[in-house]
Amino acid sequence: MTLTTSTPTDTDRARYEESLTMLSDASVHKHFDPFEDIDWDAPEFAVTPNDPRWILQKESDPLGSHPWYQALPQEKQIEIGMWRQANVAKVGLQFENILIRGMMQYVFFLENGSAEARYCTHETIEECNHTLMFQEMVNRIGKDTPGMGRLMRFVSPFLPLAGSSLPVIFFMGVLAGEEPIDHIQKAVLRENGVIHPIMKGVMAIHVAEEARHISFAHQFLRRRVPAMSKVGRFFASLAMPIIMRILCDVIVIPPKQFWREFDIPKQVRKDLFWGTPEARETLRDYFADVRMLATDSGLMNPASRRVWKALKIDGDVSRYRSEPARRAA
């Protein structure tokens, strides 16, 4: 693929705005409402004691495949699974909350008639619905989970400011949260395991609409990064893998309360995040699409490759977005 590092032309701008118009039209004609499209009060959606559908799946959840978890009594597996899934939803809505505030910071300074302003506003509306959906899932499960760790909750009021002051960095952060969540949820929906209908309904809606959101973030960076100065692009190339790794850990790793509440051994935590070859391979898989974006937009260079490798998130790049991870026999 030919790498473009020059200022976008009028033709490039027109194509970009056309793609944003298509995304906006898609948001108008195909969108979801969590209280219309999910029948929360249906009998099959009821959260009942000792429901084995809350047991963590082996294929999609690293804890679900760990021998320590599999050796637990079924009641304990269910209790841990419910807490974990509620916390994943809580983290998701907290991340979406930060994204919404940052997106509005960015939109505030856009000119009249901006295709970006229209699409970002559509996306913000969808993300607001996602926060409602995730919170309803947490409420139905009935576990009072904190979501993100204490440090991230403390700095969260300041992160949206990057939406207007450092938009390239902000949208890197958007992808750092969206890509791992999207990867995990697609894995859950693809596997053959039996999961609770609440999880299935929420994930199906989220994956469908996140496809548009991730597409926009990729297009935004593909357009913005080549127009940056060489110095700015170099520092952005170093920042990208750092942002990916930090926010991935915030999104994926449960808070300290989880490990204390269920008395989970430290070795299990080390194995899961990211102490075994299998766990490190999973971590790398989360960012195959982002490595493709970095390569195509001029953010992959000898120095940044060393950072990707040092953070253990280097690896092959996707040939196309959402290409499934493949393992050599």
pLDDT band of residue 3 (cuts 50, 70, 90) is: very low
Range of the domain at 230: 62-310
Q: How many domains does the chain have?
A: 1
Domain membership flag for residue 194: yes
- Domain assignment present for residue 50? The answer is no
23-45 residue pLDDT tens: 999 999 999 999 999 999 999 89
Q: What is the average pLDDT score of the chain?
A: 92
Q: Would the pLDDT of 225 be above 80?
A: yes
The answer to the question of residue 278 being in a domain is yes
Report how far residue 82's alpha carbon sits from residue 76's, in angstroms, rounded to the nearest whole number: 10
Q: What is the CA radius of gyration of the chain?
A: 20
3-state secondary structure of 240: helix
Rounded Cα–Cα distance for residues 194 and 71 (Å)? 19
pLDDT of residue 226: 93
Task: For residue 73, give the CATH number of its domain.
Answer: 1.10.620.20
Residue 40 within any structural domain of the chain: no
CA distance 228 to 172: 15
- Amino acid 10: pLDDT: 75
Q: What are phi and psi of 107, to 5 degrees?
A: -65, -35
Asked whether residue 116 is assigned to any structural domain, the reply reads yes
> Residue 318's CB: how many other CB atoms inside 10 A?
18
Residue 129: pLDDT band (50, 70, 90) is very high
Within a domain: 298: yes
Residue found by looking up tokens 């790794």 in the block: 245
pLDDT tens digits, 262-278: 999 999 999 999 999 99
pTM, rounded to two decimals = 0.91
Half-sphere exposure in the Cβ direction for 313 (13 Å, CA): 27
**Is 20 part of any domain?**
no
Flag whether 44 is in a domain: no
